[in-house]
Amino acid sequence: MQNSLKRMWASLGLLAAIAALLATTATAAHKAVNIVIWTDSDRAAAVTKVANDWAAKNGATVKVVTKNFGDIRDNLSTVNSADAPDVITAAHDWTGKLAANGLVQPIFLSAAVKKQFPSYTLNAFSYGTAVKKLYGVPVAVENIGLVVNTKLAKAPTTFSQLETEALAQKKKSHISFGIAVQQGANGDAYHMYPFFSGLGGYVFGTNKAGNLDPSDIGVANPTFLKNASLINKWNKEGLISSKVDDATAKNAFLKGQAAFWITGPWNADTLKKSGLKFKVMQMPAIAKPSVPFLGVQGFMVTKFANDHGVGSAATDLVTNFMANPSAQTQLAAANGRPPANTKAHSSDPVLAQFSAASKGGVPMPNIPQMDSVWGDLGQAWVKSTKGSGATPAATAFKTAARAIADKIG
């Protein structure tokens, strides 16, 4: 009997030890979850704070690595797995290339969460040649607008009014351009897009399935070419000039030389500190609505998360936490961009004006073929608005369309 009791107690002790060991192992494994996030310096502080809120609730740790924004995309394809991130801050137009190369994972949002986002923000992070899949949670949206110095000019209701007032201010200030819009030697198809769309231009059409069609290139479509002579007029009168770069455009507006500046919310603080009276609006329609490109920023889960054994945790951080209104409100305040989640809030009146200027905007194409567009489209504007010796616009854009088609193949 005594031996039986000894064996029983020994067995119970062994079971208790095993249970304790299992509990310790489970706790250690839970605490061993470490999520590595790549983001840029503008967002690092806010991302760190918000991600750490999630980590504290889940017994995990977060390491935020700061990189130049464009390097996040480029380095993801070359980084060693051991040094790779589990989550990245990303621009929506990276989606096609990253997804096609298998560098990011599809994610899923519930129907209730999806309703909190404008459909275009979700479409912007969706990609697939047959069936579209969602690869990112939208966090912030941005677009350019027409900033008007209301002491120098009235907010225009027509493009003709904009043109007249811009040229009047140009003459008064003795500068070489009417509208401060950046281009420079390398061109800037993004900042020129409201002019492009207003003339009837588009980059890619869509197929019957609603997917972007890289074979339908609208850079020199008939509607645009019909209106392209206006570019020659603008060039001749100096309404716009490809010699204007970012610094030139900004200085001309802030010094009161130009009454109109095309820029985005990244200059909201500069505007608020300028002391100028201003209004942000969408550029008035030309032949068509002069809508801007829309940029959507968000978070993606990389393929390396599964390699690191944290795929489930990384997905939870992105889909359940970064998508919620509270997190997006905090990120918007630090990021200086309107939040993507419609239940999140931004109390900044300047950001609200930029957001209103986005109406009808076009998300930048997120398919890999877009890489073949930026340079040639930008150069078409450079060549046709460089002043003396400019290439006729129809010729410049036809040349760009052919070059883009050749690159896409």
Contact 321, 327 (CB under 8 A): yes
Supply the DSSP string of 251-293, one letter for each residue.
HHHHTTS-SEEEE-GGGHHHHHHH---EEEEPPPPSSS--PPE
Range 117-130 burial, b when 16+ CB lie within 10 A, else e: bbebbbbbbbbeee
**pLDDT tens digits along 122-176:** 999 999 877 899 999 999 999 999 999 999 999 999 999 999 999 999 999 999 9
pTM reported for the whole predicted model? 0.85
Let me know how many helices (H) and strands (E) the chain has, helices first. 18, 14
Of the pLDDT bands very low, low, confident and very high (cuts 50, 70, 90), residue 77 is very high
* Nearest residue to 70 (alpha-carbon basis) of 39, 102, 37, 101: 39
Check whether 4 has a pLDDT greater than 70: no
Contact 294, 120 (CB under 8 A): yes
**pLDDT tens digits along 21-73:** 444 433 334 447 999 999 999 889 999 999 999 999 999 999 999 999 999 99
* Nearest residue to 142 (alpha-carbon basis) of 300, 298, 376: 298
Mean pLDDT of 370-394: 98
**pLDDT tens digits along 233-281:** 999 999 999 999 999 999 999 999 999 999 999 999 999 999 999 999 9
> What is the predicted pLDDT for the residue at 208?
86
> What is the predicted pLDDT for the residue at 336?
85
Half-sphere exposure (Cβ direction) of 147: Cα atoms closer than 13 Å: 30
List beta partners, residue 204: 217
Contact 344, 328 (CB under 8 A): yes
How many angstroms separate the first and last alpha carbons of the chain?
A: 87
> What is the predicted pLDDT for the residue at 335?
80
Alpha-carbon Rg for the chain, nearest whole angstrom, is 26
Cα dist from 167 to 171, 212, 254, whole Å: 6, 38, 17
> What is the predicted pLDDT for the residue at 29?
41
Other Cβ atoms less than 10 A from the Cβ of 88: the count is 28
> What is the predicted pLDDT for the residue at 360?
93
Other Cβ atoms less than 10 A from the Cβ of 277: the count is 10
How far is C-alpha 306 from the geometric centre of its chain's CA atoms?
A: 26
Q: Which residue has the higher pLDDT, 324 or 18?
A: 324
Contact 50, 331 (CB under 8 A): yes
Check whether 117 has a pLDDT greater than 90: yes
Cα dist from 227 to 188, 196, 223, 370, whole Å: 20, 10, 7, 24
Query: Mean pLDDT across the chain, nearest whole number?
Result: 92
**pLDDT tens digits along 176-198:** 999 999 999 999 999 999 999 99
